Structure 1
Amino acid sequence: MTETLLVTGASGQLGRAVINHLLDAQEIAPASIIAATRNPENLADLAARGGVVRAADFNDGASLEKAFEGADRVLIISTGDLDLKTGRRLKQHETAVAAAKAAGVSHLLYTSMPNPEPGSPVLFAGDHYGTEQAIKASGIAYTILRNGWYQENLFMALPHAISSGKWYTSAGDGRVAHGARDDMAAAIAASLASRSKESHIYTLTGPQAYTTSEVAAIVSDVTGKPIEVVQVPDEGLTEGIKANGVPEDFARIIVSFDANTRAGRIGEVTDTVEKLSGRKSRTLRQFLEANRAALLG
């Protein structure tokens, strides 16, 4: 019997990519895919192909339970609500887990982060760890996909570093195995379509881990622009980011990434993306070369 697969956050970048891989690489029939989103109008193209599009609001448990009706396997893509003062994102995720249980979902998948356990410097790690615990407590079979840092996240720092010639960081000699968002989406789609009934935790990373200085050297080679890496304390980095117009709470989140890197908690390299997706991962150099024009502005 064909399983029905549901993706939340389906109109977002990761959600859309997962659905595209379900349709293409995994050859899932559109009618077997439910795309849940706050903005159904953004998925008119999927509906036109025969996909099922349903409205779902993570702040409304009833809407989630209704959206999840008839779904066998549900992928909960973590929301972008990073309000550190309210703990709203964890509440949203817990609401989604409860809705999945009420709807009789047989397998639950969730996009987490590497090493979210207590003690993580990342300020929102507790949202992911708390969600993982809620999933385990639900009794539903699960697949937790701990997504590493995206190569695309480098756009937060690189354009300014390239234009100014200086890359300010507090990451020290810590390493990051940046991975392509689309590669992770391909792996997630394969896991969602796998029909596996066992519970798993996977860490998804890029194919190689680099220090900030090593990344800067590759960027300089690709763009022809020299970059000096300047190590600064967390406090100084926070103030510098704020001086560029970034709100304090988000500046603190950005700096917590560097603290996490410095602590060695994001440097792990796995081949899980390639094993799940069956395709070769994009390297950091390939990403930089493909985006050279955008990085140079």
Structure 2
Amino acid sequence: MILVTGATGQLGKLVITGLLARGIAADGIVAAVRSPDKADDLAQLGVIVRKADYTDPTSLKAAMVGVKRVVLVSSSEVGQRAPQHQNVIDAAKENAIELLAYTSILHAETSPLALAEEHRATEAALKASGVPHVLLRNGWYSENYTASAAMALEHGAVLGSAGEGQYATATRADYADAAAIVITSEDQAGKVYELAGDESFTLAEYAALLASISGKEVVYQNLPETEYAKVLVDVGLPEGLATILADSDVGAAKGGLFDDSHTLSTLIGRPTTPIQDSIKIALK
């Protein structure tokens, strides 16, 4: 059996979709979720739903009984990820998991993004554990920007602190397909995949695409990091998240979210989804 953590989250659910599409039987998939009552749609497909909380080692160990492989989708709780991931790794070791695939961050070892710190800690913990593992170092999701496309159109501006930094984004579905392929393939232990979109863009180019596709005027406004973080807080984001997002833009300006290896498209056997397509879907 293959267990997917965070299975009711946006990426985790897509990984399960990818596994089913690859012919993995529903009863060979375990959806590990904090709230099983929120996974009724997965249960109706025949997927096994088990309660598993990143902060509850006992639940994680119980969820992995009979499981051979695990996709560890990184926790969404920034600042708490390292100990949460350690709990999953410990459970995997106790259950003699034969392969664990972890969704890390692009170029984790050298990434200038503050977000990378917990990913580096998790990668180190995996190495120390002895659990056979493969690293899926995911770049930025296209949805990180297209989710706010309507707001950008409303205000006529895309805001950020990325300067001329290039974003080689792909959709969550692209990354999920990669995870499904890797976890169902042989001889993966020890491999590291640097995953990113085939095409890249600056935020100014993204704003221009928004304008072209929508027919409305949209420009990119580059702000100092602290000012951008303040804007994000003003629109309702928690201060910690706003700080992380602003830092990520600055990291992008340093090349932290760019990769042109085409590893992702090679792995999934098709081109990654162009940002233009993601914009069109977001604006429907």
Considering the TM-score relative to the shorter chain, is it more than 0.5?
Answer: yes
Cα distance in 2 for residues equivalent to 1:246 and 1:171? 19
The answer for the alignment partner of 1:12 in structure 2 is: 9
The answer for the alignment partner of 1:126 in structure 2 is: 117
Cα distance in 1 for residues equivalent to 2:123 and 2:190? 12
1:122 CA displacement: 2.5
The answer as to 2:58 corresponding to 1:32 is no
1:34 CA displacement: 1.3
Aligned 8 A contact 2:213 2:280 in 1: yes
1:240 CA displacement: 2.1
The answer for the alignment partner of 1:108 in structure 2 is: 100
Report the 3-state secondary structure (helix = DSSP H, G, I; strand = E; otherwise coil) of the residue aligned with 1:230.
strand
Which whole-Å deviations, capped at 9, do the CAs of 1:197-233 have from their partners, x for residues lacking one?
Answer: 5321112111101111111111111011122222221
Give the one of 255, 262, 278 matched to 1:264.
255
Aligned 8 A contact 1:117 1:126 in 2: no
Unaligned runs of 5+ in 1: none
Cα distance in 2 for residues equivalent to 1:98 and 1:48? 30
Report the 3-state secondary structure (helix = DSSP H, G, I; strand = E; otherwise coil) of the residue aligned with 1:199.
coil
Report the 3-state secondary structure (helix = DSSP H, G, I; strand = E; otherwise coil) of the residue aligned with 1:94.
helix
Counterpart of 1:81 in structure 2: which amino acid?
E
The answer for the alignment partner of 1:21 in structure 2 is: 18
Counterpart of 2:36 in structure 1: which amino acid?
P
Aligned 8 A contact 2:251 2:257 in 1: yes
Give the one of 148, 168, 191 matched to 1:200.
191
Cα distance in 2 for residues equivalent to 1:124 and 1:290? 28
Identify if the C-alpha distance between structure 1 residues 69 and 233 changes in structure 2 by more than 3 Å, giving closer, same or farther.
same
The answer for the alignment partner of 1:173 in structure 2 is: 164
Identify if the C-alpha distance between structure 1 residues 44 and 56 changes in structure 2 by more than 3 Å, giving closer, same or farther.
same
Counterpart of 1:170 in structure 2: which amino acid?
S
1:90 CA displacement: 0.7
Aligned 8 A contact 1:23 1:30 in 2: yes
Cα distance in 2 for residues equivalent to 1:169 and 1:31? 44
Which whole-Å deviations, capped at 9, do the CAs of 1:245-295 have from their partners, x for residues lacking one?
Answer: 3222111011011111111111112322222222332111111122223xx
The aligned runs of 1:1-297 (5 Å cut-off) are: 4-24=1-21, 26-82=22-78, 84=79, 88-117=80-109, 120-155=111-146, 157-293=148-284
Counterpart of 1:287 in structure 2: which amino acid?
S
Counterpart of 1:158 in structure 2: which amino acid?
A
Cα distance in 2 for residues equivalent to 1:176 and 1:114? 11
Which whole-Å deviations, capped at 9, do the CAs of 1:73-93 have from their partners, x for residues lacking one?
Answer: 1111011112x3xxx221000
TM-score (norm 2): 0.94
Cα distance in 2 for residues equivalent to 1:274 and 1:202? 11
Report the 3-state secondary structure (helix = DSSP H, G, I; strand = E; otherwise coil) of the residue aligned with 1:111.
strand
Cα distance in 2 for residues equivalent to 1:197 and 1:116? 19
Aligned 8 A contact 2:149 2:279 in 1: no
Aligned 8 A contact 2:113 2:256 in 1: no
TM-score (norm 1): 0.90
Report the 3-state secondary structure (helix = DSSP H, G, I; strand = E; otherwise coil) of the residue aligned with 2:126.
helix
Aligned 8 A contact 2:18 2:180 in 1: yes
Number of matched pairs: 284
Cα distance in 2 for residues equivalent to 1:17 and 1:76? 13
Counterpart of 1:200 in structure 2: which amino acid?
K
Identity, in percent, stands at 35
Identify if the C-alpha distance between structure 1 residues 254 and 157 changes in structure 2 by more than 3 Å, giving closer, same or farther.
farther
Cα distance in 2 for residues equivalent to 1:146 and 1:263? 18
Aligned 8 A contact 2:137 2:192 in 1: yes
Aligned 8 A contact 1:206 1:270 in 2: no
- CA-based RMSD of the aligned residues comes to 1.6
Identify if the C-alpha distance between structure 1 residues 41 and 152 changes in structure 2 by more than 3 Å, giving closer, same or farther.
same
